[in-house]
């Protein structure tokens, strides 16, 4: 069935402001049911968790519901879903905790395709512990992250391989299952950054071979909150610095202080919203998520092809090379115009598209583009229309003409 874009857009009141949004890779708009769920918690009697009275039990239920929701989204075990303020803070938490047992001779593998949040925490902890960092390189000509190199990078001293499921700069989806198979054969753990990829495709952490998978709800129509999923048995062997009275249980051991119950309710609402994107989807929430996100992937792929083909056809526009099958995200420059200037000019025309390195520091540094402003990023989300794409293409065409 064709994706019902009008129905999808109706769930986003912010679209009423009239901007053309190509900025979901930085943060999507929030779906109405999410705003309502957050609002309901703040307007209700929920203060903190307690077994003793109903509002306290409601708070306990909100947390449990959110774990179940994220588990459904990722194909994970709810008992292994840890919440945190951001993906970055969760990567630091896992890196610092796992890193306690690393020492000289141990190795970690990071990639230059990744957002810095799945790079720097590993590098810093490895350096603190005297462990060695090995780098997986992307191919600048194709934007691929070749799998073969992992056979050379991974050995029996490798403790962890960190890799993205989708580049937030150019959309590349590395072959995570193959990389994970190499890592696992050597006894290493695999930490997958799913922040960019999660809203664009069905996710199955087991199929990916991800020992840890991190995702941020504000990239998929939800609130500013992140989750990291792993096997509860893996979490059980990890001991973060924590307060004495706080719970030793998994996953609570990894969650510090009082959580945002309102945001957690928003997470559940966001997952329910994603599950309902294809109204024809049936079955459990997990099944509906798989169906709906497959419909989203197909819808976005078509629009993305229109966007990339359109950009490629404009004289003076240069695209960062990337594989055809990728998350629907493209980075480009218009002539020699500074990307920030292009972003501002698009902004003046009501088009939201970020410029810079978007924290894909290693990528833009390796491409030699970082010091001169990175690039402009345009991403498709499930509320983007063909008309949005055409408006962006017209605007870029006009800017390219000016720049010529």
Residue 68 CB neighbour total at 10 angstroms: 17
Distance CA 46, CA 57 (A): 9
Work out how close the CB of 200 gets to ligand PLP at its nearest, in angstroms, rounded to a whole number.
Answer: 11
Nearer to ligand PLP, 86 or 385 (CB): 86
Query: Rounded to whole angstroms, how far apart are CA atoms 291 and 295?
Result: 6
> Which stretch in 66-74, 75-83, 193-201, 338-346 sits in contact with ligand PLP by CB under 6 A?
193-201
| Residue that is written with structure tokens 């799998």 in the block | 147
The Cα–Cα gap between 338 and 315 comes to 17
Q: Kindly report the length of the chain.
A: 404
Q: Output the smallest distance, CB 356 to ligand PLP, in A.
A: 11
Select from 22, 72, 83, 88 the one that contacts ligand PLP (CB under 6 A).
Answer: 88
Give min distance, CB of 214 to ligand PLP, in A: 7
The residue assigned the tokens 């005297």 is 130
CB of 111 or CB of 291, closer to ligand PLP = 111
Taking residues 104 to 123 in sequence order and writing x for each that binds ligand PLP by CB under 6 A, - otherwise, the string is -----------x-x------
3-state helix vs strand vs coil in the chain, percent to 5: 45, 15, 40
Helix, strand or coil, per DSSP, at residue 391 = helix
Minimal distance, residue 121 CB to ligand PLP, in Å: 11
Query: Please, what is the minimum distance in Å from the beta carbon of residue 287 to ligand PLP?
Result: 27
Q: Which is nearer to ligand PLP, 165 or 281 (CB)?
A: 165
Residue 190 main-chain phi, psi, to 5 deg: -125, 125
The footprint of ligand PLP on residues 129-188 (CB under 6 A) is: 164, 168
What is the nearest approach in angstroms of ligand PLP to the Cβ of residue 87?
4
Three-state secondary structure readout of 271-325: HHHHHCCCCCCCCCHHHHHHHHHHHHHHHHHHHHHHHHHHHHCCCCEEECCCCCC
Question: Where does this chain bind ligand PLP (CB under 6 A)?
Answer: 86-88, 115, 117, 164, 168, 193, 195-196, 216, 226
């Amino acid at each position: 069935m064709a994706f019902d874009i009008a129905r999808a857009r109706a769930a986003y009141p912010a679209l009423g402001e009239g901007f053309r949004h190509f900025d979901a890779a930085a943060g999507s708009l929030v779906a109405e049911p999410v705003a309502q769920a957050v609002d309901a918690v703040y307007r209700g009697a929920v203060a903190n968790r307690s077994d003793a009275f109903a509002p306290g039990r409601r708070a306990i239920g909100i947390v449990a519901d959110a774990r179940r929701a994220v588990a459904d989204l990722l194909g994970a075990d709810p008992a292994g879903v840890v919440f945190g303020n951001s993906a970055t803070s969760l990567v630091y938490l896992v890196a610092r905790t796992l890193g306690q047992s690393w020492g000289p001779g141990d190795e970690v593998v990071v990639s230059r395709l990744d957002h810095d949040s799945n790079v720097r925490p590993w590098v810093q902890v490895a350096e603190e512990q005297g462990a060695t960092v090995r780098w997986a390189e992307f191919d600048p000509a194709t934007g691929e992250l070749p799998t073969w190199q992992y056979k050379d990078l991974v050995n029996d001293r490798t403790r962890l391989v960190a890799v993205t499921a989708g580049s937030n700069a150019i959309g590349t989806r590395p072959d995570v299952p193959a990389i994970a198979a190499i890592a696992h054969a050597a006894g290493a753990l695999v930490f997958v950054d799913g922040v960019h990829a999660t809203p664009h495709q069905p996710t199955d952490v087991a199929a990916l071979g991800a020992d840890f998978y991190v995702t941020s709800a504000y990239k998929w129509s939800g609130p500013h909150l992140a989750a990291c999923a792993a096997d509860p048995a893996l979490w059980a062997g990890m001991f973060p610095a924590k307060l004495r009275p706080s719970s030793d249980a998994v996953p609570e051991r990894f969650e510090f202080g009082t959580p945002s119950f309102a945001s957690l309710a928003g997470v559940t609402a966001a997952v329910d919203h994603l599950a309902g994107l294809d109204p024809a989807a049936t079955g459990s929430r997990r099944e509906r998520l798989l169906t709906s996100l497959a419909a989203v992937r197909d819808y976005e792929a078509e629009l993305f092809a229109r966007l990339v083909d359109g950009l490629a056809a404009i004289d003076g526009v240069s695209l960062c090379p990337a594989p055809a099958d990728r998350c629907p995200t493209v980075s480009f420059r218009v002539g020699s115009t500074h990307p920030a200037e292009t972003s501002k000019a698009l902004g003046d025309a009501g088009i939201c598209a970020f410029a810079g390195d978007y924290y894909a520091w290693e990528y833009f540094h390796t491409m030699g583009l970082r010091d001169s402003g990175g690039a402009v990023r345009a991403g498709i989300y499930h509320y983007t229309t063909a008309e949005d794409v055409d408006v962006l293409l017209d605007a870029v065409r006009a800017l390219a003409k000016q720049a010529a």
